[in-house]
Amino acid sequence: MSILDKFAGIQHAHDALTALGIDPLAVEFDAMTSPCEGVIDGRKVLILGSNNYLGLTYDPAVIDRGVDALRAFGSGTTGSRIANGTYRGHKELELRLAGFFGRRHAMIFSTGYQANLATISTLAGKDDTILIDADSHASIYDACRMGNAQVIRFRHNDPADLAKRLKRLDGQPGEKLIVIEGIYSMLGDRAPVAEIAAVTRAAGATLLADEAHSFGVLGRNGRGAAEEAGVERDVDFVVGTFSKSLGGIGGFCVSDVPGFDILRLVCRPYMFTASLPPAVVACTLAALERIATDPSLRQRLAANAERFYRGLEAAGFALGPQISPIVSVRLSDVSMAAQFWKALLEAGVYVNLALPPATPTSEPLLRTSVTAAHTSAQIDKALGVFADIGTRLGAIGT
Amino acid sequence: MLSEQDIVEVIVTHLRERLPPDTAIGPQSTIMGDLGLDSLAVMNFVMWLEENFDISVPMDRLIEVETVADLARVLHSLGAQKAS
């Protein structure tokens, strides 16, 4: 008997994959040669499985700012924001983020995961109710578990179902917090933000949007799905991450809600962890400046997303419902998905293998993502590899 | 309002249509053990039950559920109304 015996089922499933020579967890990048190319086992690979949407990880200005901060402020803060961990850069980044989003307040966190954990678990108290989209990211589910509020799920991207569930709560005391994501990370589909905002407003509830995958990607200014839908003022709290379009690590929450700064005294995942290292903050500031001033990044990303989605669609693959930088190939069974993933890697194309129950349905996914840094030639090469393997394995053309 | 027994019957009928024919399903069947539903299937099943009985099931109420009878008890306590 071991305390780990409870995980035997998961271990068994993992063993079954590794027995076939397939272990996504064992992939190591020995080197990175660009935002979308790396080296695995001595072989150059094209990366179509990152969240580096704007390709800023090697931006010279980003790196220079990070190096300068590293030399000036050292490698880490060694403390939390409420103790010794607030440096000038943290305050500057909060000001810049608030400005970018046109909001009065901003708070930064050490990861995007913690941003959700902190805000959601704190905003909703024990007499309140959180209503979350059923396809929410693990950080949202974990935030709900950490807090004391009642938690109800509504059908994915279904404002009518949300309205029905809010109606069932009529007369029940306490605040209602609705939580959605701008773009959902598995299939790349967008939330119907305008419709959900209307339902939220009608119910007198509070709306929080996690724009982790849509910040820097959607909207005329890159402010996300709420900007694209024209309903930014209806979103009370916007949460996001620095680890995707900004190419670093960290998370944030922006808001116009009066009294916002009280969260600094009550959000435990903000209070009891070390603050972001100065170099990360400096890189993030530089990347934020870039996305605020260079809309061509988003335009290139959108063009690459459309090229890749249309190409896979024309080849006959089953995909997510909408064009977005996340392009997921839906396959019929786990064995085919695993073989496909392995064949792609052997052919020099790295993607993410997503298996149920971590997927929205029982279908396994080859989750891919494009970046603004991919060239048309790279996208076309990947399309060719996908079509060859798909034909060989019977995923298309049958 | 439906009785717990009524709710058990709805659950068993629904599962019988979806699980392999030789699966034994009764009030004491454990949902993730005996019936083999994974976490995704359980959550989808709960969505169907919520629709069917016109209720919302708070997630913390699922912690106490292991068997079909446990599930019926939770749904009954939440005021499961009607089987469509």
Q: What is the pLDDT of residue A248?
A: 97
Q: The domain spanning residue B23 has which CATH number?
A: 1.10.1200.10
Nearest chain B CA: its distance from A119 CA (Å): 19
Average pLDDT over residues A254-258: 98
**Burial level of B21, CB count in 10 A (0-12/13-18/19+)?**
exposed
Tell me A146's DSSP state: H
Nearest to A131 by CA among A75, A94, A90, A172: A172
Q: What is the pLDDT of residue A9?
A: 87
Q: Residues of chain A with pLDDT > 70: what percent?
A: 100
Domains of chain A: 5-57+295-393 (3.90.1150.10), 59-293 (3.40.640.10)
Tell me, yes or no, if A152 comes closer than 8 A to chain B by beta carbon: yes
Tell me, yes or no, if B78 comes closer than 8 A to chain A by beta carbon: no
CB contact under 8 A, B38 and A357: yes
For the stretch A155-173, pLDDT in tens is 999 999 999 999 999 999 9
Say yes or no to pLDDT of B78 above 60: yes
Q: What is the pLDDT of residue A200?
A: 98
Q: Residue A357 is nearest to which of B40, B55, B58, comparing CB atoms?
A: B40
Q: What is the pLDDT of residue A258?
A: 98
d(C-alpha A224, C-alpha A211), whole Å: 6
Residue B44 lies in domain = 4-77
3-state helix/strand/coil string of B1-66: CCCHHHHHHHHHHHHHHHCCCCCCCCCCCECCCCCCCCHHHHHHHHHHHHHHHCCCCCHHHHHHCC
Omega before residue A321 within 30° of 0, cis: no
In a domain, B83, yes or no: no
For the stretch A338-384, pLDDT in tens is 999 999 999 999 999 999 888 998 899 999 999 999 999 999 999 99
Q: Please work out, in degrees rounded to the nearest 5, the angle formed at the alpha carbon of residue A139 by the alpha carbons of A36 and A132.
A: 120
Average pLDDT over residues B51-71: 94
For the stretch B3-31, pLDDT in tens is 999 999 999 999 999 899 889 999 999 99
**Burial level of A91, CB count in 10 A (0-12/13-18/19+)?**
middle
For the stretch A120-158, pLDDT in tens is 999 999 999 999 999 999 999 999 999 999 999 999 999
**Computed from CA positions of residues A25, A31, A37, A40, in that sequence, does the dihedral angle turn out positive or negative?**
negative
Count CB-CB contacts under 10 A for residue A264. 13
**Computed from CA positions of residues A324, A329, A334, A338, in that sequence, does the dihedral angle turn out positive or negative?**
negative
Tell me, yes or no, if A176 comes closer than 8 A to chain B by beta carbon: no
Those of residues 323-362 in A touching chain B at CB distance below 8 A are 356-357, 359, 361-362
Query: Which of A6, A140, A152 is most worth mutating to test chain B (most B CB atoms within 10 A of its CB)?
Result: A152
Say yes or no to pLDDT of A17 above 90: no
Instruction: Say how many domains are in chain B.
Output: 1
Q: Compute the 3-state secondary structure of chain A and give helix, strand, coil in percent, each to the nearest 5.
A: 45, 20, 40
In a domain, B46, yes or no: yes
Average pLDDT, chain B: 91
In a domain, B84, yes or no: no
Under the banding of pLDDT at 50, 70 and 90, the label for residue B1 is confident
Q: What is the pLDDT of residue B83?
A: 52
Nearest chain B CA: its distance from A97 CA (Å): 34
CB contact under 8 A, A153 and B43: yes
Under the banding of pLDDT at 50, 70 and 90, the label for residue A21 is confident
In a domain, B27, yes or no: yes
For residue B40, list chain A residues with Cβ-Cβ distance below 8 A.
356-357, 359, 361-362
Tell me A184's DSSP state: -
Query: Which of B50, B62, B81, B84 is most worth mutating to test chain A (most A CB atoms within 10 A of its CB)?
Result: B50
Q: Residues of chain A with pLDDT > 90: what percent?
A: 94
Say yes or no to pLDDT of B84 above 70: no
The amino acid at A112: G
Whether the Cβ atoms of residue A325 and residue A217 lie closer than 8 Å to each other = yes
CB contact under 8 A, B57 and A151: no
Cβ neighbors of B50 (< 8 A, separation 6 or more) are B56, B57
d(C-alpha A22, C-alpha A186), whole Å: 20
Residues of A noted as catalytic = 185, 213, 244
Say yes or no to pLDDT of B57 above 70: yes
Say yes or no to pLDDT of A306 above 60: yes
Q: Please work out, in degrees rounded to the nearest 5, the angle formed at the alpha carbon of residue B78 by the alpha carbons of B76 and B84.
A: 65
d(C-alpha A238, C-alpha A206), whole Å: 11
In a domain, B14, yes or no: yes
Say yes or no to pLDDT of A321 above 80: yes
